[in-house]
Amino acid sequence: MTLLIYLISFLEGFTTLSIEIIAIRRFTPIIGTNSISTSIILGVILLALSYGYYIGGKNTQKMEEKTLLKKLVFNVVLASIFYLCITFIFDKYILEFLINNINSYFWAILLSSFILFFVPVFFASQTIPLLSEILKGKNTGEKIGKLLFFSTIGSFLGSVLTSSVLFPILGVYKSAVLDSLILALIGVILAFYSFKKFKEIYFTGYISCIMLILSISIILTEDFTEKYTIYKTANSYHDIEIFESNGKRIFSLNGGLSSGIDINTKDSFFFYIEEIKKNILQNKSENKKILVIGAAGFTLPAELSKEENISSIDVVDVDSSLKDLSEKYFLKENLSKKINFIVEPSRYFLNQAIKNNKFYDEIVIDIYVGKSLAPQTLTEEFFKNIKKVGKNIYINIITDRKLETDFSKNLFNTMQKSFGQLYYKVEEYGNSDKNYITNFIMTNNELSNYKKYEFDSNFGVYKDDKNSIELDIFKRGL
For residue 443, which of 218, 206, 278 has the smallest C-alpha distance? 278
The answer to whether residues 436 and 316 belong to one domain is: yes
- Bridge partners of 259, per DSSP, are 251
- Bridge partners of 426, per DSSP, are 440
Residue after which a domain boundary falls, among 187, 202, 220: 220
The answer to whether residues 166 and 311 belong to one domain is: no
Residue after which a domain boundary falls, among 220, 242, 258: 220
The answer to whether residues 305 and 189 belong to one domain is: no
Burial class from Cβ neighbours inside 10 Å (0-12, 13-18, 19+) for residue 381 reads middle
Residue after which a domain boundary falls, among 183, 201, 220: 220
The answer to whether residues 329 and 446 belong to one domain is: yes
Taking the C-alpha atoms of residue 2 and residue 263, their distance in angstroms, rounded to an integer, is: 62
- Count of CB atoms situated within 10 Å of the CB of 3: 7
The answer to whether residues 283 and 196 belong to one domain is: no
Taking the C-alpha atoms of residue 361 and residue 392, their distance in angstroms, rounded to an integer, is: 6
The answer to whether residues 205 and 274 belong to one domain is: no
The answer to whether residues 166 and 291 belong to one domain is: no
For residue 28, which of 150, 186, 153, 167 has the smallest C-alpha distance? 167
Q: Is residue 255 part of a domain?
A: no
Side-by-side strand order, sheet with 451-452: 339-343, 310-317, 288-293, 360-365, 390-400, 437-443, 423-426, 451-452
Count the domains in the chain: 2
Q: End-to-end alpha-carbon separation of the chain, Å?
A: 52
Q: Is residue 234 part of a domain?
A: no
Q: Is residue 323 part of a domain?
A: yes
pLDDT in tens, the chain (478 residues): 678 899 999 999 999 999 999 999 998 888 777 788 899 999 999 999 999 999 988 877 778 888 899 999 999 999 999 999 999 999 999 998 998 888 778 899 999 999 999 999 999 999 999 998 888 765 667 888 899 999 999 999 999 999 999 998 998 999 999 999 999 999 999 999 888 888 877 889 999 999 999 999 999 987 765 668 899 888 888 889 999 988 999 999 888 888 999 999 889 999 999 999 999 999 889 999 999 999 999 999 999 999 999 999 999 999 999 999 999 999 999 999 999 999 999 999 999 999 999 999 999 999 886 566 788 999 999 999 999 999 999 999 988 889 999 999 999 999 999 999 999 999 887 666 788 888 899 999 999 999 999 999 999 999 999 998 888 887 776 5
- Give me the domain span that covers residue 379: 270-476
Judge whether 144 and 128 are in contact, CB under 8 Å: no
Taking the C-alpha atoms of residue 29 and residue 32, their distance in angstroms, rounded to an integer, is: 6
The set of residues, in sequence order, having a beta carbon less than 8 Å from that of 304 and lying 6+ positions away, is 277, 280, 290, 310, 313
Q: Is residue 301 part of a domain?
A: yes
Strands 339-343 and 310-317: parallel
The dihedral region occupied by 131, where left means phi > 0, alpha psi between -120 and 50, and beta the remainder, is alpha
The answer to whether residues 359 and 453 belong to one domain is: yes
Taking the C-alpha atoms of residue 372 and residue 135, their distance in angstroms, rounded to an integer, is: 47
Q: Is residue 338 part of a domain?
A: yes
Q: Is residue 231 part of a domain?
A: no
CATH of the domain at 156: 1.20.1250
Q: Is residue 347 part of a domain?
A: yes
